A and B are shown apart, each in its own frame.
Chain A
């Protein structure tokens, strides 16, 4: 199975900060990577697909980049709604594994 390793596990930041979360795949996934945000007690929602494409309706402060097997989610200016847990997921090959999550705290 492909392992997805996210870092950091926890990140403390303030409203207005620029933050970056990283996800590394254990092998090539050809850019088939998605990012999700999950607020407490809620289902996740899709932010980015195909490593860098913004899902419809998602604010432009979210962006994704790819460099080989390393993927980055950047939030350019944190809003109160962004304090949540973020997950990456590879959908290149089954099982379509998730990273362990990054909790973004105030």
Chain B
């Protein structure tokens, strides 16, 4: 059974940093694209960043470029999102998302989400 377990969310002041982690199990982690999708309170889904299975194809939405960094450790089966320079509009539930294969970013499996709140 595929499991994606996010951690690292919390309350942070504007300008601060957080690192989200997603521990994956139940599948061959390096064979699948992974991504982060967020959802602000009461709002829709927003694809934030993704990475291909072999660690290539790093992609970001424009609003987080230069502030967020996605990475993965295929030995630890873990996906990360380093978030720096956090802003109020980064407040959201962040979901870890698994694609359908190496470079495909439709989301077949979702984590339960971790809440990031940016506020002074």
Which residue of chain B has its CB nearest to the CB of A34? B106
Q: How many A residues face the partner with a CB closer than 8 A?
A: 22
Asked if B110 and A43 make an inter-chain contact with CB atoms under 8 angstroms apart, the answer reads yes
**0/1 string, A51-69, CB within 8 A of B gives 1:** 0000100000000000000
Interface residues on B, range: 20 to 34
Q: How far is the CB of A32 from chain B (nearest CB, A)?
A: 8
Contacts of A45 in B (CB 8 A): 110
CB-CB contacts below 8 Å: B12-47 with A: 35, 44-47
B82 interface residue (CB < 8 Å to A): no
Contacts of A91 in B (CB 8 A): 104-106
Which residues from chain A sit less than 8 Å from chain B, CB to CB? 1, 32, 34, 36, 38, 43-46, 49, 55, 87, 89, 91, 94-101
